[in-house]
Amino acid sequence: MSSFASKDIEVYREDERVGHKNLGVAERERLVQNYLPSPPTRSRSRGRQTKHETSRFGIRKFFKSQLYSLLYFSVHFAFSIYIRARSTYHIVSLSALSIFKYHHSTPDFVRRDVSTLKRLPKHVSVILTLEDEGRAGNALEKLVNEVSEVAAWCASAGIPRLSIYERTGVLKRYMPQTHRALVQKLKSWFGRSQAPPVSISTRGASTIYTANREYFSHDQSPLEVVLISEDDGREAMVDLTKVLVQMVQKEKIKAADITVDVLDNELSEAVMTEPDLLISFEPYVDLQGYPPWPIRLTEIYCAPDNQGVGYQIFLRGLRKYTEATFKLGK
């Protein structure tokens, strides 16, 4: 674009001073028309080329999206086949194991199954779940029956201590009923005169013992059952912290005396000692808020695709514990 001529500038400024009365609209347009740039020319071939490139890009994008969809469905299909095959394998293997390895409510069968194991845990902990949060009428009865079954397995295998974790803590509110169910289950397994004594305890409550336990023979190993819930992790540490703070404020102990070993001993006495083996009957590892401090060196066992509490899972957990290697750091 060329620069404005001085003559045209003077004419335009004179017209502007008088309020644009000297020149009309058409004259002003002709005045600046010579100084406007020429409009761009769009070649026909360029337009066809752009349209062709746009069309080709759209087709490429379409095929790429179809390729991604095919790849996604292929991976999804292959993974579905793998999950189905794995689930079928586990169901068949557990069914076969239940045929060859079943307790038949007889302690001798359990002793025979565990006799080949090199070692047995002294403390077994299991995670049980209250179905439908207890809204179903028979959910609590089923839970108590599962506790009784696991207790009978432990008593038959010679495991002296069993801790039952149920997240809501509903078993704590029915300790006498749970203890009564345990005693009846052990009597049905061992007989009325051969059933081992069983005690049931929980944090903040009195321990319930088997009646007339002093008349049991000395060769019958007692079974100790501990009930724990989600509150035993958080509340136990809060209560212990309050007690220790009060003792420090009253100068009964020094803050430097509070060590990890002290906390571990106090928590073990308040709730329970660390279990050797933790068994989850869920199809995947779900601790459900299990207190974290007592499972630092615990062997955790969970059977994939498992549904429900079963003796086969309990037996596999004991075998897993036997094969485990514990390496303690310095």
Both structure tokens of 41: 């020319």
Per-residue pLDDT of the chain (330 residues; tens, 9 = 90+): 456 677 777 777 777 777 777 777 777 777 777 777 776 665 555 555 555 555 555 788 888 888 889 999 999 889 889 888 887 877 777 777 767 777 788 899 999 989 989 999 999 999 999 887 666 568 889 999 999 999 999 999 999 999 999 998 899 999 999 999 999 999 999 988 888 999 999 988 889 988 655 445 545 678 999 999 988 877 777 777 788 888 888 878 887 777 777 777 777 776 788 899 999 998 888 888 888 777 778 899 988 878 888 898 999 999 999 988 766 655
* pTM of the shown model: 0.69
CA distance 244 to 262: 10
Helices (H) and strands (E) in the chain, counts: 9, 6
Both structure tokens of 46: 């360029």
Residue 35, pLDDT score: 72
The class that CATH gives domain 106-323 is alpha beta
Question: Is the separation of the CB atoms in 195 and 156 below 8 Å?
Answer: no
Both structure tokens of 71: 């790849």
Q: What is the DSSP letter of 95?
A: H
Residue 204, pLDDT score: 81
Helix 44-100 to helix 311-323 angle (10° resolution) is 100
Residue 235, pLDDT score: 74
Both structure tokens of 132: 């439908």
Whole-Å CA distances, 48 to 39, 51, 55:
20, 5, 10
Q: What is the DSSP letter of 119?
A: -
Q: What's the order of all strands across the beta sheet hosting 161-166? A: 198-201, 223-228, 161-166, 123-128, 277-280, 299-302
Question: Is the separation of the CB atoms in 121 and 321 below 8 Å?
Answer: yes
